[in-house]
């Protein structure tokens, strides 16, 4: 009887140690998942697509030229929500053709649940015709210091502006103070219209996402990303 009790107590002791070990590992994983060493950046996106510098071959400059609200994410390296050479996701397709970001936002949420992305952000368009920029603040972290963003070129068949996989750290691992980027245009490969105001003409089969080339490759906007 005493021997049995001793064995039970010994087993419970081992079980307690095992539970402590597992809990400690859970805390360690949690610490790795939740960053604590972040930096705040302010993103200022200034329009460069105007009638005066309209030089590409997509037809006349449209009267109501604008960009849809920006959506972006802060993520690990090479885990942007789109890349050239891939087919557009449903979220990229909807954003590029209509400017709506609901599906793309859900796709980014899935990447957040997979720990590939830490957070997403939005930037609304100008509040008046006298303004020509998007502004947003973002937070980046030790393991999540790459930035990607998109916005529909409107009107257009399926075109969008984007910047992808921008590293907010330099080669020495310290945070960059300021980054200035030219933002170019992309074709989502889902509509075959050839001008900004072309009627809806779905591409079948859909094609890969590609960046504009040649005379179509103009700087649609300029982004200045500044550490706060």
In this prediction, residue 53 has a pLDDT band, given cuts at 50, 70 and 90, of: confident
Summarised one tens digit per residue, pLDDT across range 30-48 is: 344 455 579 999 999 999 9
Average pLDDT, stretch 152-166? 96
Kindly report the CATH number assigned to the domain that includes residue 134: 2.60.40.2130
Per-residue confidence (pLDDT) for residue 109, from 0 to 100: 97
Alpha carbon separation from 51 to 156, 179, 205 (Å, rounded): 15, 27, 33
Domain range for residue 137? 37-227
Same-domain status, 151 and 99: yes
Same-domain status, 19 and 103: no
Same-domain status, 19 and 85: no
Same-domain status, 8 and 45: no
In this prediction, residue 10 has a pLDDT band, given cuts at 50, 70 and 90, of: low
Per-residue confidence (pLDDT) for residue 15, from 0 to 100: 45
Per-residue confidence (pLDDT) for residue 131, from 0 to 100: 62
Q: Is the pLDDT score of 104 beyond 50?
A: yes
Summarised one tens digit per residue, pLDDT across range 110-145 is: 999 999 999 999 987 665 445 678 889 999 999 999
Same-domain status, 6 and 112: no
When divided into structural domains, the chain yields a total of 2
Average pLDDT, stretch 145-172? 96
Same-domain status, 55 and 129: yes
Per-residue confidence (pLDDT) for residue 30, from 0 to 100: 34
Average pLDDT, stretch 97-104? 97
The burial of 113, by beta-carbon neighbours within 10 Å (0-12 exposed, 13-18 middle, 19 or more buried), is given as exposed
Same-domain status, 23 and 73: no
Summarised one tens digit per residue, pLDDT across range 161-213 is: 999 999 999 999 999 999 999 999 999 999 999 999 999 999 999 999 999 99
Helix 90-98 vs helix 102-113: crossing angle, to nearest 10? 150
Same-domain status, 100 and 10: no
Same-domain status, 44 and 30: no
Same-domain status, 42 and 110: yes
Per-residue confidence (pLDDT) for residue 74, from 0 to 100: 97
The two structure tokens encoding residue 153: 């070129």
Per-residue confidence (pLDDT) for residue 208, from 0 to 100: 98
Same-domain status, 14 and 112: no
Same-domain status, 89 and 192: yes
């Amino acid at each position: 009887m005493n021997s049995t009790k001793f064995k039970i107590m010994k087993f419970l002791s081992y079980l307690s140690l095992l539970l402590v070990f597992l809990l400690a590992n859970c805390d360690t994983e949690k610490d790795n998942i939740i960053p604590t060493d972040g930096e705040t950046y302010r993103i200022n996106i200034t329009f460069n697509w105007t009638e005066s510098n309209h030089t590409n071959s997509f037809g006349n400059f449209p009267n109501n030229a604008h960009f849809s609200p920006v959506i972006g994410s802060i993520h690990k390296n090479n885990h942007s929500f789109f890349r050239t050479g891939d087919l557009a996701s449903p979220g990229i397709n909807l954003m590029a053709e209509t400017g709506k970001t609901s599906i793309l936002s859900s796709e980014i949420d899935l990447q957040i649940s997979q720990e590939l992305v830490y957070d997403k952000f939005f930037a609304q368009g100008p509040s008046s015709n006298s303004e020509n920029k998007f502004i947003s603040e973002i937070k980046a972290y030790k393991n999540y210091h790459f930035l990607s963003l998109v916005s529909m070129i409107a009107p257009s068949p399926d075109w969008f502006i984007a910047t992808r996989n921008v590293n907010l750290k330099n080669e020495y691992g310290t945070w960059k103070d300021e980054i200035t980027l030219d933002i170019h245009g992309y074709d989502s490969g889902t509509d075959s219209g050839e001008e900004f105001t072309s009627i809806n003409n779905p591409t079948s089969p859909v094609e890969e996402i590609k960046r504009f080339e040649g005379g179509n490759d103009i700087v649609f906007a300029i982004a200045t990303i500044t550490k706060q």
